[in-house]
Copies of this chain bind each other. A is one copy, B any other.
Amino acid sequence: MAETIRIPFERLRDFMTLAMTRLGLREEDAAIVGRLMAEAELQGSDGHGAIRLLPYARRIRAGGINLHPDVRIVQERPGMALLDGDNGMGHLVMHKAAQIAVEKARHCGVAWVGARLSNHAGPASLYARMPMAHDMIGMYFAVGNANHLPAWGGLDMLLSTNPIAVAVPAGDEPPVVLDMATTVAAYGKVKAKAQRGEQMPVGWMIDRLGQPLTDPKRADEGFLMPIGGYKGYGLALVVGLLAGTLNGAAMGREVLDFNKDFRSTTNTGQAILAIDPAAFGDVPAFKARVDTVIREMRGSERMPGVERIWLPGEQSHLRRQQSEREGLALPSALLAQLDTLARELDIPALQST
């Protein structure tokens, strides 16, 4: 385990906000992006939190992001909207999308807001969670920003790990928050295995002959495996059609690899669905039923060696509570990188502020 240093949430949020301001975002936009990046870290989505500042900065400096976007509704009906993100930071686009979805769901019961010309927005669950502040259910679909898997049986990487997130409010229990890539492992986990010099389990990746690939250093020679084989391929595909194709956003060959091209417009597509349980009946009664389901799962008899049965989002919930008490645990190597950027941007270092 790499050395970590605890940083208070507020300090990371303010650092990210200041960095985004110096990179050229409007102050109010920088505040939204900075807060959401820190919240990603708070909920334990460490692959989508502070670590993303450097690639975001690189893309901004390369001219790949519109720093003053006009995020606007281009299509609208009572229960839906389509946003043009104007190539702004994805956080701004999907933050607005979630707000609109909640407003429309209050009237219609259910509302769907899609976006095109958006960008990477951090973890899917960050947005699926937003309607929960209004006692609503949230669902989020996105086209990932690099293709890592082929069609089932194919060799051309035409699909990303297109994630699905669903957040369901509970009563006394933590909410159920599912946030999953449609692949067995996310690509970040492969990179982490390579860094630690470890082998991958069978089932994460296959090579071009369809054989298991377990050496993460050979990751370029193979593909991520979709969950459930052809089923995960189908899920990745329909998520891409809903979050990308429907919105006029990139899908299939149009998806560029944002780890290699920092300048071209990604035309990222995402979608959020808000469902208001109040439209279906009494909200406390609904939440009590969710509590019952949660307790049934947790209270189930366990397999030998299993210490605890977790609900989706429960470990993230505990990590959030711990981070609120003790601060966010950031790897010291990452802190050093962030402070190098801080010097370049002429803002106070994160570690000493």
Contacts and interface: CB of A to CB of B under 8 A. Distances in A.
A19 to B, nearest CB: 34
B155 A303 contact: yes
A237 B79 contact: no
Interface in A9-61: none
A150 B245 contact: no
B153 A281 contact: no
A304 interface: yes
A301 B82 CA distance: 34
Interface in A274-310: 275-277, 279-281, 286, 289-290, 292-293, 296-298, 300-306, 308-310
Interface in A139-179: 150-156, 158, 164, 166, 168, 176, 178
A336 interface: no
Interface residues of A, number: 83
Interface in A309-325: 309-312
19 contacts: A77-B276, A78-B79, A80-B108, A80-B110, A108-B108, A112-B275, A150-B300, A151-B300, A152-B310, A156-B301, A176-B237, A178-B235, A209-B304, A227-B232, A233-B312, A237-B312, A242-B275, A248-B281, A252-B297
